[in-house]
Amino acid sequence: MANEQVKNKIDKATLRKCLWRDAITLQWSWNYERMQALGFLWAILPVLQKIYAKGDELKEAMKRHLHFYNTNPVLSPLILGAAIALEEDKAGNAASSIKVGLMGPLAGIGDTLMAILYRPIIAVIAASLAMNGSSLGPWLIFFSGILWMAVKVPLFWFGYNRSTALISDVMGDGILNKVTEIASIAGLIVIGGFIPSILSRVKTPLKYAKTVTINGEAVEKVVELQSVLDKLFPYLIPILIVGLSYWLIKRKMSPIKVLLVLLALAFVTNILGIL
């Protein structure tokens, strides 16, 4: 009951102010020294000002939240909510500890879900729509960002209510490794399935002409290499291009260099009339 009485001192309006500060301005002051620390302090500051008396007590609380902080921006409200709950209990050191304990695992989970699963899938679908002349492609990208912003709201309240239990929620039962593995597999499956539709325009114009005799008349028979490939191995050329890219990346070549190689390959094969 004592904890509940302390927590009731922070009104919902102040909590919502902290939430939106984190959701919108967390990375506005990003820097190489402390990364998102200043943004996190700005987000939690309304709560600190209500809990601690002005002067040295408030300054110490502010300094505590200026320590290095860096995590996935979408999942940051989860940490903020937990830290606020501990600050309400005057457990400032625990609030700092939960930030340190959660920012790494949640960065791994959030970056994996966004970079490997969500963003590539949305980008591929949007690109496919745009290539087919649909205006839904740009709108899909726009609304996907709105969705991630909306997700931050329930995450904040979940972190606020769970507080220290978040440590076991995130770290227990190897959830980080499971999320990473599942997201990687799902992302590869989806992106792999879109390869034919994205690169379907990459075809070879090569033809083979041969003169044959039919009913005593010489007839020139033209065989298109692309039609033969489509019958034997559909989308062989797009798959070979992706395979080449993967092989180059496995050989420690940077993505920029891989793109330059593909650009040079496209230029040369087009000049030679191969692709």
The domain limits of the chain are 2-196, 202-271
What kind and span of H or E run contains 59?
helix 56-64
Residue type, 71: T
Residues 6+ apart with CB under 8 A from 208: 222, 223, 225
Full-model pTM: 0.60
Residue-wise pLDDT for 118-177, tens only, equals 787 788 788 878 877 888 888 888 888 888 888 899 889 888 887 766 655 555 555 555
Where b means 16+ CB within 10 Å and e means fewer, 205-228 reads eeeeeeeeeeeeeeeeeeeeeeee
Residue-wise pLDDT for 199-226, tens only, equals 667 777 777 767 666 666 666 676 777 7
